[in-house]
Amino acid sequence: MSLVPFTNEVISDYSLAAAREAYRRALTEVRGQLGSHYPLWIGGEAVDTGEYLTSVDPCNPDQVVGYSAKAKQPEIEKAMAAAERAWRDWAALPMRQRARALIKLAAVMRRRKLELAAWETFEAAKNYPEAEADVAEAIDFCEYYARQAIRLATPLPDFSSPGESNESFLSPIGVGVVIPPWNFPLAILAGSAVGPVVVGNTVIIKPSPATPITAQKFLECVQEAGFPAGVINLLTGEDADLGDQLVDHPRTRFINFTGSLKTGLRINERAARVHPGQHWLKRVALEMGGKDALIVDETADLDLAAAAAAQSGFGFQGQKCSAMSRLIIVDEVYDELLQRFLARVERLSLGPAEDNHDVAAVINQQAVDKISGYLEKGQREARLVMGGHRTAGSGYYIEPTVFAEVPPSATIACEEIFGPVVAVLKADDFDHALQIANSTPYGLTGGVMSRERIRLERARRELEVGNLYLNRKITGALVGVQPFGGLKLSGSNSKAGGPDYLRLFTVAKTVSERF
Ligand code: NAD
C-alpha cells in the first residue's frame, strides 16, 4: 500500500458565509437526532443496561444531547473478555493491514466531519472552528499513526555474529484501557485509541461522563469502517463504577490516560500495584494538566502579543490543557500590553456555541462551581480588571475574566483553573519572567514573545515545558508537526502525534538462533 505524504486536515474558513451556512445545516441535521438512547459496544455487539448517563448541552442544559448506557462490573468483565478474544487475530495481522483500517476510519470521519463537529457543538459547547479542529485532529491521528505504524514495521537493526542470527522486533502488548478527557472529546479519544490499536493492541475506551455521545459517534465511525468485533470496545458510565475498576483490573495491560493531575496521579499509583493473577507491569501513559505561561518582554511586538494572549487564554473558554492561564509581562511594557490585551478580550463575544460565539459555556455545573471558587479567591489575591462573574440564565457561562498584578504565589497563579480566567503577572525583567514561569509543578506548554534572539534561545533551553511556542499563540498543536506532551507533573511526555508515540504501546523481543 502506498500512501501520499501526511498533511494536516484543512479546516473551513468561517469568515466565509458559505462555510457558516454549511455548519448551520449540520447543526440542523444533528438537532433532529438529539435525545436518542445509545448502548455500550462490547465485542461488536450493542449492550443495553437499561440505566443511562444523561448528556446535556452546556449552553442550554434543558436540552438533552443523548442518553448513554451505564456500564458496571459485569460489563467490564465482558469487555475485557471480548478485547482479549479479538486480540489474538488482530495482533497477528501485518502492520499494513491494520494501518489500512485507520485510513478507512479517517475517510469515514472525513465524510462525516461537519456532522461530528456539530455533535461537539451541542455536547461540549465548542464553536464552529474549535469543533471542526477537534474532528480534523482525530482524522489526522488516524492518517499519521497509519504511516508511523508502517515505518515501525521495518525490522529493528540486527546484530548478527558468525554462526548466529539475532533479530529484534516489536509486538503489541495486549488489552489496554483508554481514558480520555471531555475537552477534546473526539481527537484525544480517537488518538489515544487508534495509536495502540494500529500496532496490534485491542482497547476498552472509557470516555468522560461529560461527553459520552461524541464517543458514541466515534464508535459508529469505527463500525462503519469495518473494524473487527472487539478491537475497539466502548464502556460509558460513571467514574465511580468504571475508573478504579478498569485501572485495577488484573488483565489490564496498559492504560492510556489524559486528564487532570489528580486523576492521573491516582491512576499512576493504583496501576503500580501487581494484583493476584497479574503477570506483568502495567504500562501507563499519563498526560495531565498545565498552568501555562506566555512571557512578553519589552522588545516584543505588542499587538502580536496581545492577539496571541487573547487567543491562547480564551479559545474554547480556556478549557485546553495548553491554554494560557498566566500572562507574564516585564515591567517596562506591563501597562501598555495589559491595555492592549484587555482591549482584545473586551471584543470577545459570549454566547451559545451554536451561534459561533468566541466564548461559549463551560462544560458543566461542577466546572462553574470550581471556577467560581477561583473567581472569589482571585478577588482577594489580585486586582480584577475584567469579567469575574457567572452570567444569569441557565447556560454554564462564565465571563472572560482577567486578574492583574497577580503575585506569583497566589492560588490563581499556581493552580489549574480550566476556565476563561487569566492571571496577569508583572516581572522585573526577562530573567525574573523565566523564573516565575518555571515556578509551578506543571510543565505543559509555554511561550515567549520577544525580538531578542539570545532570549529566544535561552527560553528553548530553560523553560521547563514540553511544548514551547515562540512569537505565536501557545495552543493548537498539530499532529505530525508539534508532537504533544508535557514535562514535570504535566505528564509522562508521551508526545501524541509524534514519531515515537506508537512505540509506547509495543514490547520488543530479541531472538537469537545459533546455526
Ligand atoms: P479528569 O481527570 O476529571 O478526567 C479524565 C478522565 O478520567 C475522564 O475520562 C474521567 O471520567 C476519568 N476518571 C475520573 N476518575 C477516574 C478514576 N478514579 N480512575 C480512572 N479514570 C477516572 O479530567 P477532565 O476534567 O476530563 O479533563 C480536564 C483535564 O485534562 C485538565 O486538567 C486538562 O489540563 C487535562 N488535559 C490534558 C491534556 C494533555 O495532553 N496533557 C489534554 C487535554 C486535557
Region class of 28: left (phi > 0), else alpha (psi between -120 and 50), else beta: alpha
- Can you give the pLDDT at residue 92? 97
Q: In the chain, what percentage of residues exceed pLDDT 70?
A: 100
List pLDDT tens digits, range 23-33: 999 999 999 99
Distance CA 392, CA 165 (A): 73
CB 140 within 8 A of CB 105: no
CB 108 within 8 A of CB 225: yes
DSSP 398: B
Residue 2, pLDDT > 90, answer no
DSSP 47: E
The mean-pLDDT minimum among 83-92, 376-385, 388-397, 476-485 falls in 388-397
List pLDDT tens digits, range 305-337: 999 999 999 999 999 999 999 999 999 999 999
The atom number, within ligand 1, closest to the CA of 181 reads 26
User: Cα dist. 179→50, 192, 207 in Å?
Assistant: 23, 8, 6
Distance CA 413, CA 433 (A): 13
pLDDT-derived band at 131, boundaries 50, 70, 90: very high
**Model pTM score:** 0.98
pLDDT-derived band at 82, boundaries 50, 70, 90: very high
Q: Is 344 helix (H, G, I), strand (E, B) or coil?
A: helix
List pLDDT tens digits, range 175-207: 999 999 999 999 999 999 999 999 999 999 999
User: Region 302-307: what's the mean pLDDT?
Assistant: 98
Residue 434, pLDDT > 90, answer yes
> Is there an atom of ligand 1 within 6 Å of 263 CB?
yes
pLDDT-derived band at 83, boundaries 50, 70, 90: very high
User: Region 211-217: what's the mean pLDDT?
Assistant: 99
Probe ligand 1: pick from 76, 177, 183, max atoms within 8 Å of CB?
183
Q: Is 129 helix (H, G, I), strand (E, B) or coil?
A: helix
Strands 36-38 and 60-69: parallel
Question: How is residue 94 written as a grid cell?
Answer: 501485518
Q: In the chain, what percentage of residues exceed pLDDT 90?
A: 96
Residue 288 Cα to ligand 1 midpoint, Å, equals 7
For ligand 1, atom 28, name the residue with the nearest CA: 259
Residue 157, pLDDT > 80, answer no
Distance CA 258, CA 83 (A): 21
User: Region 49-71: what's the mean pLDDT?
Assistant: 98
- Computed over every residue of the chain, the mean pLDDT equals 97
Q: Using alpha carbons only, what angle is made at residue 52 by residues 48 and 56, rounded to the nearest 5 degrees?
A: 135
Instruction: List, edge to edge, every strand of the sheet that includes 467-470.
Output: 383-386, 401-404, 421-427, 324-330, 292-296, 445-449, 467-470
Beta bridge partner(s), residue 359:
350
Catalytic annotation present for 321: yes
Residue 158, pLDDT > 80, answer no
CA 266 to chain centre: 19
Q: How many CB atoms lie within 10 A of CB 366?
A: 11
pLDDT-derived band at 160, boundaries 50, 70, 90: confident
- Can you give the pLDDT at residue 193? 99
In angstroms, the first-to-last Cα distance of the chain is 35
> Is there an atom of ligand 1 within 6 Å of 418 CB?
yes
- Can you give the pLDDT at residue 466? 98
DSSP 316: G
Beta bridge partner(s), residue 254:
176, 283
Q: Is 205 helix (H, G, I), strand (E, B) or coil?
A: strand
- Can you give the pLDDT at residue 300? 98
CB 296 within 8 A of CB 302: yes
The atom number, within ligand 1, closest to the CA of 262 reads 2
> Is there an atom of ligand 1 within 6 Å of 419 CB?
no
Question: How is residue 7 written as a grid cell?
Answer: 498533511
Cα dihedral across residues 338, 341, 345, 347: positive or negative: positive
Residue 180 Cα to ligand 1 midpoint, Å, equals 6
Residue 162, pLDDT > 90, answer no
Distance CA 447, CA 459 (A): 8
List pLDDT tens digits, range 459-469: 999 999 999 99
Residue 156, pLDDT > 80, answer no
- Can you give the pLDDT at residue 501? 98
Residue 221 Cα to ligand 1 midpoint, Å, equals 23
Distance CA 369, CA 416 (A): 14
The helix/strand count (H/E) of the chain reads as: 15, 21
CA 23 to chain centre: 23
Calculate the dihedral angle through the C-alpha atoms of 192, 137, 438, 308, rounding to the nearest 10 degrees. -170
> Is there an atom of ligand 1 within 6 Å of 464 CB?
no
Range list of β-strands (E), 199-270: 202-205, 232-234, 254-258
Contacts of 51 (CB under 8 A, 6+ apart): 69, 70
